[in-house]
Amino acid sequence: MINETIPDAVDRIKRALKSFEDMLDCTPLVLVGHDGHWLNGPAREFLRRRGLQGDELIEWLGSGPMPQTPKWRGLEFERFRLPGGDSLFTLRNGASEDGLQAKKLTRKESEVLGYLVKGLSNKEIASKMNVSPGTINTHLDNIYRKFGCSSRLAACFIAMKKGIHTVKV
């Protein structure tokens, strides 16, 4: 049960929309829908610097494995599903292979990542590890920082893609 008043919820929504509006000007964004696609200015510049075309990216987003060529290497994205079946993608340069090797996970971070890859919630992970959900949040923040990402999905993807070993759980 959520203990939030309607005015608090409205304020939170307004802040989120303002944050999203700010993203339009500085974050590489790609909108893909059933009726085509759209790239904002930062996305076009991001792809230009990598030597990619928007159509190449759109084709890859719909097809599967990323080509293993230098211009694609390290490209990361986060997908947000929108109402009506459209998707919004944010693009960024991922952490380098060297960066991931230099920033090893602690045993506890590796254990948290193992549970994360299995799809457990923070509350479930905390229960299994006999710690508070706040402690799990701290471990997740450390994992995100070390991986150069900002979401559970991205952390799982990086761990699997790079073959980073987690504690068996």
Residue 167, pLDDT > 60, answer no
Sequence-distant (6+) residues with CB within 8 A of 60 are 66, 67, 72
* pTM for this entry: 0.49
Name the residue ranges covered by the structural domains of the chain: 6-93, 97-162
The more confident residue out of 101 and 149 is: 149
Residues 119-148: pLDDT tens digits? 899 999 999 999 999 999 999 999 988 887
Q: What number does CATH give the domain 97-162? A: 1.10.10.10
Angle, CA 45 vertex, CA 23 and CA 89 arms, to 5°: 45
* DSSP per position, 61-119: HHH-SPP-STTTTTEEEEEEE-GGG-EEEEEEEPPPHHHHHHSPPPHHHHHHHHHHHTT
Residues 103-117: pLDDT tens digits? 688 989 989 998 988
The more confident residue out of 66 and 40 is: 40
